[in-house]
Amino acid sequence: MAQPRGRRRLVTLSVFLLAALTLLAIGGPVRSAASAAARAVVSPFVSIVRGVTKPVGEAFAGTFNYADVVRQNHYLSYELGRLRMLQAQSAYQTRQLRDLLALDRLPFLGALPVATAQTTAQNLSNFTATIEIDKGTDAGVLPGMPVVGGAGLVGIVTSTTSGGSTVTLITDASRSIGVRFGAAGNTAVVHGQGAFRDLDADFVSPGTPVHVGEIMYTNGLQGGLFPPGIPVGAVAGSENARGATELSISVHPLADLRHLTYVDVVLWEPGS
């Protein structure tokens, strides 16, 4: 019986509410007499409806505003990414121009002819250090030819094709270079220790004066693998351990081997 009684209450309330709304809608004396009572009845229902619909409306407005903010953020992120890309391109082009200008009339090469080449790939690891360049036998590049950058020796050509070559850098663990340093013309042999490490210099007797920052140059010996006088690196540190038969010397390459864009292949064959 509770369910029918509840339905009757709902019907009665609906009829009463409809009558109140009708009194508010009609004009004339009836309205003036009953309007206050009708408003008193309807007002709580209007407040409830407004209380429910207001948050819903604000939620819809918030949704539309949030979507607009998301769109703006996406656009700003796109623009920021584009600006960063342009900045990176500009930095790369600046480095290319710097490297090309640095290769212009290198004083340590004298009159030796060169072929300027662009780096196309790098293979740098803890032990291996090679680059690929876009000049090969068609440009007169042959295995064994030295490769230099604006600051000094980069490496040596180890294989070629008609249109490209592989250059093994001086930091490669397989490379060794005869050098000369100091006012007395002291000699040493530097060895590669991997792409991200300094070179090691061997065969320097204890007591030999070695100064940090001192430049080591190719000595032109060692079977004539390199012409003399090409800067190789600067002394980064030395140690004279007690009882050692030679100094322990680290040498930092002068050429920026991590960011090679253009290099010069010296068209000079070993022994010439």
Domains in the chain: boundaries: 1-102, 113-272
Q: Which residue has the tokens 């876009």?
A: 134
Mean residue pLDDT of the chain comes to 79
Which range scores top for mean pLDDT: 1-10, 170-179, 214-223, 263-272? 170-179
What local confidence, expressed as pLDDT, does residue 61 receive? Answer: 54
More confident residue, 162 or 29: 162
Work out the pLDDT band at 68, boundaries 50, 70, 90: confident
Q: Residue 197: pLDDT above 70?
A: yes
What would the pLDDT profile of 106-135 be if each residue is shown by its tens digit?
888 888 999 999 999 999 888 789 999 999
What local confidence, expressed as pLDDT, does residue 49 receive? Answer: 47
Which range scores top for mean pLDDT: 9-18, 23-32, 106-115? 106-115
CB 253 within 8 A of CB 152: yes
Mean pLDDT value of segment 176-187: 93
Distance from C-alpha of 53 to C-alpha of 132, rounded to nearest angstrom: 70
More confident residue, 255 or 8: 255
High-pLDDT (> 70) share of the chain, %? 67
What local confidence, expressed as pLDDT, does residue 29 receive? Answer: 47
Mean pLDDT value of segment 196-222: 92
More confident residue, 34 or 81: 81
Q: Residue 137: pLDDT above 60?
A: yes
Pick the CATH number of 113-272 from 2.60.40.10, 3.40.140.80, 2.40.10.340, 2.20.28.120: 2.40.10.340
Distance from C-alpha of 171 to C-alpha of 215, rounded to nearest angstrom: 16
What local confidence, expressed as pLDDT, does residue 30 receive? Answer: 45
Work out the pLDDT band at 272, boundaries 50, 70, 90: low
The pTM assigned to this predicted structure is 0.65
What local confidence, expressed as pLDDT, does residue 31 receive? Answer: 46
Q: Residue 166: pLDDT above 90?
A: yes
Distance from C-alpha of 124 to C-alpha of 70, rounded to nearest angstrom: 42
Q: Residue 168: pLDDT above 90?
A: yes
More confident residue, 98 or 147: 147
What local confidence, expressed as pLDDT, does residue 196 receive? Answer: 86
More confident residue, 55 or 219: 219
High-pLDDT (> 90) share of the chain, %? 48
